[in-house]
Amino acid sequence: MFRILAASAVMCLTAPAAVMADAHSGMAAMVKTGNQSVANGIVSAKDVIAPENGWLVVHRTDAAMKPGYVVGHAPLRKGHNKDVAAILTEPVNPGEMLMLMVHSEAGGNFTGIFEYSLGAKEDGPIKPDGKLVMKVITAK
């Protein structure tokens, strides 16, 4: 019994980093945030999990929950991103609804430059299993 436990311990301690990284990368894409003040011109997400490098994009929205015009964005790394802050590019009033959505870096002409405009394919939204990765909040 001791030999089996010892062998298991050695295997765990010597497991390649790639195996651990694969286990970590299996996390589902998501945006975690809540209603917040926009008085400082920033909207933030506490946690974002992105399946690839891309963008946290702030869209206007309303009760219909359709993504509207982009009013801010911030870069994302593949994997877990904490405390992501997007600077608002136009005024947002308290009570307005915003949709924070994960977009790809793919399809554009330039890497590191956000190129999406509403309905474009460049740097467009990611859709694992055909669903947008987003969270709707109300500005305070």
Q: Note whether 96 and 68 are within 8 A (CB).
A: no
Going from the C-alpha of 73 to that of each of 5, 14, 137, the distances in angstroms are 49, 40, 15
Instruction: Let me know: does 96 contact 59? Beta carbons within 8 Å.
Output: no
DSSP letters spanning 67-85: ---EEEEEEE-SEEEEEEE
> If we measure between CA atoms, which residue out of 107, 17, 28, 103 comes closest to residue 58?
103
And the tokens for 64? 């219909």
pLDDT digits (tens, 9 = 90+) for 46-101: 999 999 999 999 999 999 999 999 999 999 999 999 999 999 999 999 999 999 99
pLDDT band at residue 118, thresholds of 50, 70 and 90? Answer: confident
**How many Å apart are CA 17 and CA 21, to the nearest integer?**
6
CATH topology for the 28-138 domain: Immunoglobulin-like (2.60.40)
Q: Is the pLDDT of residue 1 over 80?
A: no
